[in-house]
Amino acid sequence: MARRPVPRSPWRRRLSIAIKILIALAVVAFGALLTAVYIARTQLPSFDELKSSPNGQMIRVHAADGTVLVSIGPSYGEWLPFDRIPRIMRDATIAVEDKRFYSHLGVDPIGVARSVKVRFDRGRWVQGGSTITQQLARNVFLNNQKKFGRKFREWILALAMERKFTKEQVLELYLNKVYYGGGAYGIDAASRKFFGHGANRLTLSEAAIIAGLVKAPSNYSPTADAQAAVDRAQVVLNVMAENGVISAAEAAEADPQAVKLAPEPKQNSVRYFTDWALPQLELLIDETEKPLEVWTTLDLNMQRAADAAVRANAPAGAQGALVSLDRDGAVRAMVGGKDYVSSIYNRATQAQRQPGSAFKLFVYLAALEAGMTPETTAVDEPITIDGWSPRNSSRRYSWQVTLRTAFAYSLNTVAARLGQQVGFTTVADMARRFGITTPINTQPSMVLGTSDVRLIDMTRAFAGVANKGVAVTPYGITKVTANNEVIYEHEVDRSRVLVAPYVAAQMTDLLQTAVNTGTGRAAQIGRPVAGKTGTTSSSKDGWFLGFSSGLTTGVWMGRDDARPIGGLQGGAAPSRAFAQFMTKAVAKRPIEQFETEVTLPEWQLEPDEESYFGEPDNSAFVDDDGAPLPSDSVPVAEVDYGRGVERPSSRAERPLGEDPDGDAPPAPPPPQRLDQDWIDRVTGRDPRPPAREPRGERRYQSPPVEDRPYQ
């Protein structure tokens, strides 16, 4: 009699169904995995294509003559085939990164399991369990986001790469493409950067240092933390010994501490220019992947001359800056400080300082545009405007003078009168028209340069005058190429006319007079030069800006903390630096005469300084104890500039040169000449110090200007 089968219990039946479902799902998943790997394998680039594709964007910056100034971004050394890679380098990498490299299929299940275990033990992901193949896939095709989706794609790519390439090819790609810190990709670039030689000469200790960098290049880079790099290398040596790659004796004999690192290349003043120019690429081009060749305007010979001029002439404890523009705005030289290594702060483009009398450029431009000429007469005498009473550095007044004389000797009272007559807002508008981008106050003292400006903006303004009144825009990049294809090329805009050509010519007339016989005589270079000095309160800032032979150069000197520097006048160190630089910069350029020949002013004499009494700018008269005197105690005579005639103060608003009554004026008083004692003192022929003022007389003083901290 046949036995009847024993029916299975329901739970066994359900378990059997679940197992079948799991097996089916596993088969489907495995099939999907195989399909994904196959598809990924077909889409992978060839080995040769992967060799030629760089990671990241490299930018090489060229000077005007083609010389490479600096390379920004990743650097690549020589590509080393597998058989040329030192065995010790291969062994060190495999030991510390993936000791089962030759046995897994691209993903190491043991490594993944260990990573998961550590995750549960520590409560966070510490180890990724990534193989060398996975790291290569991540570096070439993916990113470092810690997400499961990215990790799954990394597994697929790693399995696909192992199906397409041999182990030797995978290791060759890895060692030539992985990032080792300091901008170096590949072992040869890393070896050259850190040790100064190619990777084919690596010692055991050096190989251990490089192999240890992959885990955290920014932390273990020898240039960032040499001791951390040595400690990590010791870990690599210990792991190599544990895995039998080297003996314990070899590990003990190796001494990473004794490895000599290649010195970092010194950063020179060229970096001030590249730091200013390169950020402009974001506005000029859209390319973010292809290697770029950036061609700039910088002239290396001029740059060296500029660096030497600033270093040689800046007073002890002071900084200096220089910008030189060609007639089209091309920046030929830029120095932002005496030493880039100690301070990357670019004082040529970032610092905002008071320009002193150099700001009178805009005062006189406004006056010339209003109809005056260099021969227009003005009266140099005491003046008070809204309680502000400027005085000349000589403490004397010259009475009737031409604008040429007033500008050459930087007479402050005349500048104040001009500003009052044309309007302080008009002067501010003129400064903005010529490229001053910083805020400009319209207080009366603004005519003497109390608004902070940037050196590059002031240089641009003087270049506009040199360019016959046409706007000049500074630029540093001439063209950009990607894979030999021009993707950007600079075009000079000559369409913006700032002032009429005759106004620019008259301003040039005044500027060349200031150099030939006025405050800027130290800037003479044996050929026509036009320029202006500037000195601020208590000699905190010294300026000289001028042009010759198509080149416009601005020089600033002072302390970053804006503390006074004794003897720092624009006509001294800045003018000498200008002359030293320009002598070399224009040596090979043809001599260019200005449209107006220089006309000497009334006196062949200049004061030693132009910073009215060497005190801060917002001035007032005070008694001997420092208490301010009422403004009505300061006599002021309003003068008709055209005839040198005293007028009632109620008529101070009338235009310059206009006789409101039409009456024939009385004979003007004779000009007051400078006495010989004062001449001797300011020219240095008389060693005696200036006599102190009798007690009780008014003295010029002003509230201190707030010091500007280092920015």
Question: Euclidean distance between the first and final Cα of the chain, in Å?
Answer: 105
Cβ atoms 161, 101 nearer than 8 A: no
The answer to whether residue 357 is catalytic is yes
Strand partners, 470: 497
The residues, ordered by sequence, that sit 6+ positions from 115 with a Cβ below 8 Å of its Cβ are 125, 126, 127, 128, 129
The Cα–Cα gap between 447 and 417 comes to 9
Residue 55 to residue 421: CA distance in whole angstroms: 64
Tokens (6 digits) for 302: 């001029």
Q: Which positions ≥6 away from 314 have C-beta within 8 Å?
A: 320, 338, 557, 573, 577
Phi, psi dihedrals of residue 7, rounded to the nearest 5°:
-65, 140
Cα-Cα-Cα-Cα torsion 440, 619, 376, 509, nearest 10 degrees, comes to -60
CB atoms within 10 A of CB 265: 8
- DSSP letter at 527? S
Which one from 357, 451, 539, 611 is the annotated catalytic residue?
357
Candidates 79, 288, 309; CA nearest to 175 is 79
Spatial separation of the C-alpha atoms in residues 544 and 522, rounded to whole Å: 10
CB atoms under 10 Å from CB of 384, counted, come to: 20
- Pair of tokens at residue 349: 């483009």
311/322 Cα distance (integer angstroms): 11
Q: Where do we find the tokens 């910073």?
A: 611
What residues have CB less than 8 Å from 639, skipping those under 6 apart?
A: 378, 379, 381, 417, 645, 646, 647
Q: Largest Cα–Cα distance in the chain? A: 156
- Is 381 assigned a catalytic role? no
Please report the sign of the dihedral spanned by the C-alpha atoms of residue 497, residue 501, residue 502, residue 505.
positive
Residue at 451: amino acid letter: S
- The torsion defined by the Cα of 54, 59, 63 and 69, in degrees rounded to 10, comes to -80
What is the DSSP annotation of 6-71? PPPPHHHHHHHHHHHHHHHHHHHHHHHHHHHHHHHHHHSPPHHHHHHPPSS--EEEE-TTS-EEEE
DSSP secondary structure code for residue 604 in this structure = S
In 3D space, the residue among 241, 235, 240, 196 whose CA is nearest the CA of residue 216 turns out to be 235
- Pick the catalytic residue: 75, 97, 549, 610? 97
DSSP track, 318-368? -EEEEEEEETTSBEEEEE-SS-TTT----TTTT--B--GGGGHHHHHHHHH
Pairing of strands 184-185, 75-76: parallel
Q: Which of 566, 614, 530 is nearest to 356 (CA)?
A: 614
Residues in Cβ contact with 35 at an 8 Å cutoff, skipping those fewer than 6 apart: none
Q: Which of 627, 604, 625 is nearest to 682 (CA)?
A: 604
Q: Which CB contacts under 8 angstroms, 24+ apart, belong to 264-268?
A: 264/223, 266/341, 267/340, 267/341, 268/307, 268/340
Residues 6+ apart with CB under 8 A from 660: 640, 647, 651, 654
Helix and strand totals (H; E) in the chain: 23, 18
Catalytic residue positions?
A: 97, 357
